[in-house]
Structures are given as C-alpha cells and as structure tokens.
C-alpha cells in the first residue's frame, strides 16, 4: 500500500497515527462490499444476484461507505503491525477526515492506539535474594499427634454437671414468641461446650447442666447473623440434655492409627505418614514464598509503563473472578469499585508482561514431564492419586492451572540460577504462617467456610 503514516507520541503508551491514503482505496473496498451484497441481499421483484448496483447504493450506501472506511483503516494498521513498525495492543479511537470526494485526491484518518511497552529485561543476576529453607523435625510430628489426639477424643459419660470442653447430647426447639421457627430444632445432637458452634449464650447457658435436665435459654441472634430474618431476633430455646461426656486425648494405639486411615495401623506408620504430609505441605509453603520473593524482586528491577487497556481488562476480570467465587460459596457479593482493584490489577499486568519477557528471553517451555511431576506431587495427598490425576487430565481448565504453575516454577528456577542466594532457615510453623499470609484467597475461603460450616443446623451459629 502507498499510504503515508505519521506517528505522534502521546501520554504513556498512547500513540496517534495519522494515515493518508486515497479515495481509490475506499472505492475499491466499497465495490467489493457491493458485490458481496449482490449475492446475499433479497429485494422483492429481483432475482437473487440480479439487484442493480444503483439500487443497492441507494439503500445501503451509507453503511457500505462506513464499512469501506473501516476496512481501509484496519488494513493500514495491520500493515504497520506486520511490518514490525508498531506493536499495537488496542485501537482506542478512529476518526476519518472527509474532504470533498474526488478520485486521486488523498484523504486522512486518525487512529488512537495503545502500544506494548518496551521492556529491557533485568534479571536477578548477582542480585541478593534470601531463599527460605526448612525441614520437618520430630517435634513437628509430635505437635500434630497431640492435636489429633485432641480432635479424636475418647468420650466417657459422667454424672456430674457439664463443664467447659465437655460434650452434651441434647434435643432443642427454638421459639420466636410461642411459635417454633424453621430450622431452629434438632434431636440427639452433640455439642462440645466452648467450641463456639452456636450463637452467643447458647453454650454458656448449658454449663452446669446434668443428664436428663431441661433448660430454657433466652437468647438474641447477632445483628449480623447470616439469615436476615433472624438477625437481631429475640428467641427462646427449650433444651433437654440426655447425657454429659468427658473427653480424654485418644490413646496412641492401633485404634488411633485406624481412625487416621493408616493401613499398617501402627504408630511408626502413623509418624511416617504424618511426616510425608508435613513435608509436602512445607514444600508447597516454601515454594510459594520463594516464588513471591523472586517475583517481587523482578518487579522492583523492572519498572515499566503499563497499558491502560490491559489494566482495565484485568480489573474487570478480577471482579468477575470474585463474583464467581462468591456465587460458588453461595454468599452475597458486590463487585468492588474499580479503584479498589486498581493496585492489584496493575501488579498482575506488570508481572504478566515481565514473565512473558523472561519466557521469550530464555526460550523457556514447560514439558509434559514437568507438568506430570507437579501434578503427581499434588495428588500424592489423596488416597487414590492415579484416580485424581485422571480427573485432572480430563479437565482442560484444571490442567491449565497446573501447567501455569509448572511454568512459573520453571521461571523461578531460571531466575535463581544467577542470583546471589542467601539461605534463610525458618521453622515449619513460620513457613506455614507465611504461606497463609500470602494466600489471601484461601484465607477468605476459610473465613467464609468457618462462618457457615461449623454446624449441621442453620440456626446454631
């Protein structure tokens, strides 16, 4: 094409293209559009393909002209991209200067675009970075065993009054006024006093109760209770306690191993399996935090201009992701205002652009064996790893997530090859806490789960 192009740099990554071409280009494209219409349009009184061009122009001329303008502009912009003269991310606006129409006379159009940022990648070469390292100690296994003994307490019925941490078995009916309310009743349910599974005052009201005793609890639902019709409501619970049981930590025996699902049913096998699980959890925590440190360093070393269109698209995507997650959890959610997601969106776009540059610079590609190794490690926590791996391999979205994670690990390893690594030893608990602080989505999910799923009955908490 013989078009003349002028490029004007505007603020940030915006560019203004002024492209001059001739009416002949427009006429040529307009002619092609008319020929297309001839073969498809249906007008009463004319056979298919026999509609006069003059009639088509009378009826569709304005639209045909606009389509020809658009096609001409798009073709010129594509030509610039194909020649490598411009890396365009988005066309923001386009305007046509429409002088008097005359064959052979040039006309101009202006196109506002956003281009890709230029990135001169700085790697972590010779950069100091602290890499977290840790290992599982026997004391870590001991602590887990103690917690499991508490979780799987052995209960013995007692005749004394119920105290904190005792378990009661009971029936109850909840009333608003003199009418039982829906979901407020249960029979033969068990409750550990002090577990905070029920609304405030319920468990406290059962302290001191004995087997075969009835109690009336006058309570008020919290103002922020998740069921609006009960929020702040005055209620009365009629409770009948059938038994009170005292719990003691489970003995470390074959029964304990059986409860944990350990096949060999020995404490040696229990410790071995717990160590395997802790090491897997620790490896995941360390990997996440070291990745975060590497990516943070990469961001600090490579400040770049961010494409506004990509940032805005990322804001929309973040909002939709949050909305979808809320819907999955069946909770109310309102997408935050764009300004509240701006910083997160900017960081995601920034990092994404840099990671693409790392991949291009080092020609990195994740292999099927890398993906399989990572998936195998993750699935080893399940009773039937092969079944779970099959489930992943049959789900494209799930596999894409694993492939992306494997690719990120590949990038981290490559960047660390030339960094000045200083190892920072941390304990297991510290490593796990650090991972929890990073994984904000998991923390939010856990918060919602703990608020809604402490109990079996709708109105206990």
Do both 210 and 153 map to the same domain?
yes
178-221 tens-digit pLDDT: 999 998 999 999 999 999 999 999 999 999 999 999 999 999 99
Do both 27 and 145 map to the same domain?
no
Do both 289 and 380 map to the same domain?
yes
Do both 280 and 406 map to the same domain?
yes
CATH code of the domain in which 215 resides? 3.10.50.40
Residues 56, 91: Cα–Cα separation, whole Å = 31
- What domain range is 235 assigned to? 139-256
Give a yes or no: residue 343 inside a domain: yes
Q: Which segments in the chain show pLDDT lower than 70?
A: 1-2, 39, 44-45, 47-51, 53, 56, 58-61, 98-105, 440-461
Q: Which among 60, 64, 80 is positioned nearest to 27, based on CA atoms?
A: 64
Do both 250 and 284 map to the same domain?
no
- What single-letter DSSP state applies at residue 46? S
Do both 154 and 101 map to the same domain?
no
Give a yes or no: residue 433 inside a domain: yes
Contacts of 21 (CB under 8 A, 6+ apart): 1, 2, 3, 4, 72, 76, 106, 107, 108, 109
Give a yes or no: residue 9 inside a domain: yes
- Give the H/E segment covering residue 239: strand 234-248
Residue 100: the pLDDT is 60
Bridge partners of 214, per DSSP, are 240
Do both 404 and 354 map to the same domain?
yes
Report the predicted TM-score, pTM, of the whole model to 2 decimal places: 0.73
Q: Which among 457, 403, 369 is positioned nearest to 171, based on CA atoms?
A: 457
Do both 285 and 434 map to the same domain?
yes
Do both 151 and 230 map to the same domain?
yes
- How many Cα atoms within 13 Å fall on the side-chain side of residue 454? 15
274, 275, 276, 277: CA torsion to nearest 10: 50
Residue 446: the pLDDT is 30
Give a yes or no: residue 270 inside a domain: no
Residue 69: the pLDDT is 78
Per DSSP (E only), the strands in 319-439 are 420-425
Do both 303 and 397 map to the same domain?
yes
Q: Which among 262, 264, 256 is positioned nearest to 148, based on CA atoms?
A: 256
Number of structural domains found in the chain: 3
Contacts of 219 (CB under 8 A, 6+ apart): 199, 200, 201, 202, 205, 234, 235, 236, 237
Query: Which tokens is 254 given?
Result: 């074959």
Give a yes or no: residue 266 inside a domain: no
Residue 51: the pLDDT is 67
CATH code of the domain in which 29 resides? 3.30.70.1050
Give a yes or no: residue 458 inside a domain: no
Residues 419, 130: Cα–Cα separation, whole Å = 10
Do both 305 and 441 map to the same domain?
yes
Do both 132 and 149 map to the same domain?
no
Query: Which tokens is 401 given?
Result: 């997530």
Residue 460: the pLDDT is 47
Give a yes or no: residue 356 inside a domain: yes
217-266 tens-digit pLDDT: 999 999 999 888 999 999 999 999 999 999 999 999 999 999 998 888 89
Give a yes or no: residue 379 inside a domain: yes
């Amino acid at each position: 094409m013989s078009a003349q192009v002028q490029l004007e740099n505007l603020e940030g990554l915006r560019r203004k293209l002024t492209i001059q071409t001739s009416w002949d280009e427009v006429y040529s494209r307009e002619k092609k559009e008319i020929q297309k219409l001839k073969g498809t349009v249906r007008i009463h009184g004319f056979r298919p393909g026999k509609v006069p061009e003059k009639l088509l122009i009378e009826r569709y001329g304005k639209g045909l002209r606009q389509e020809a303008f658009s096609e001409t502009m798009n073709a010129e912009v594509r030509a610039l991209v194909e020649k490598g003269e411009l890396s365009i991310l988005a066309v923001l606006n386009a305007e046509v200067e429409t002088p008097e129409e005359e064959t052979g006379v040039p006309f101009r159009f202006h196109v506002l675009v956003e281009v890709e940022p230029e990135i001169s990648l700085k790697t972590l070469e010779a950069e100091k970075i602290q890499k977290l390292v840790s290992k599982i100690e026997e004391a870590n296994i001991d602590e887990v065993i103690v917690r499991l003994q508490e979780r799987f307490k052995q209960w013995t019925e007692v005749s004394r009054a119920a105290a904190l941490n005792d378990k009661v078995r009971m029936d109850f009916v909840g009333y608003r006024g003199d009418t039982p309310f829906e979901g407020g009743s249960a029979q033969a349910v068990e409750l550990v006093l002090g577990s905070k599974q029920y609304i405030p005052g319920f468990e406290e009201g059962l302290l001191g109760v004995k087997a075969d005793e009835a109690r009336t609890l006058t309570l008020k639902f919290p103002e922020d209770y998740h069921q609006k019709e009960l929020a702040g409501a005055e209620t009365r619970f009629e409770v009948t306690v059938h038994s009170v049981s005292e719990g003691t930590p489970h003995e470390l025996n074959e029964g304990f191993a059986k409860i944990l699902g350990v096949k060999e049913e020995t404490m040696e096998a229990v410790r071995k399996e717990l160590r395997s699980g802790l090491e897997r959890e620790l490896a995941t925590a360390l990997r996440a935090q070291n990745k975060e440190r590497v990516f943070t360093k990469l961001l600090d070393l490579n400040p770049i201009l961010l494409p506004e269109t990509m940032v805005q698209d990322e804001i929309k995507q973040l909002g939709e992701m949050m909305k979808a997650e809320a819907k999955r959890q069946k909770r109310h959610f309102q997408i935050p205002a764009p300004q509240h997601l701006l910083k997160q969106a900017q960081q995601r776009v920034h990092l994404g652009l840099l990671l693409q540059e790392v991949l291009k610079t080092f020609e990195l590609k994740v292999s099927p064996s890398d993906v399989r190794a990572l998936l195998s490690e993750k699935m080893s926590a399940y009773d039937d790893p092969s079944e779970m791996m099959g489930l992943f391999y049959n789900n494209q979205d799930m596999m894409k997530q694993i492939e992306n994670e494997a690719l990120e690990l590949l990038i981290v390893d490559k960047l660390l090859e030339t960094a000045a690594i200083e190892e920072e030893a941390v304990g297991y608990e510290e490593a796990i806490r650090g991972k929890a602080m990073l994984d904000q989505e998991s923390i939010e999910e856990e918060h919602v789960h703990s608020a809604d799923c402490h109990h079996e009955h709708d109105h206990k908490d």
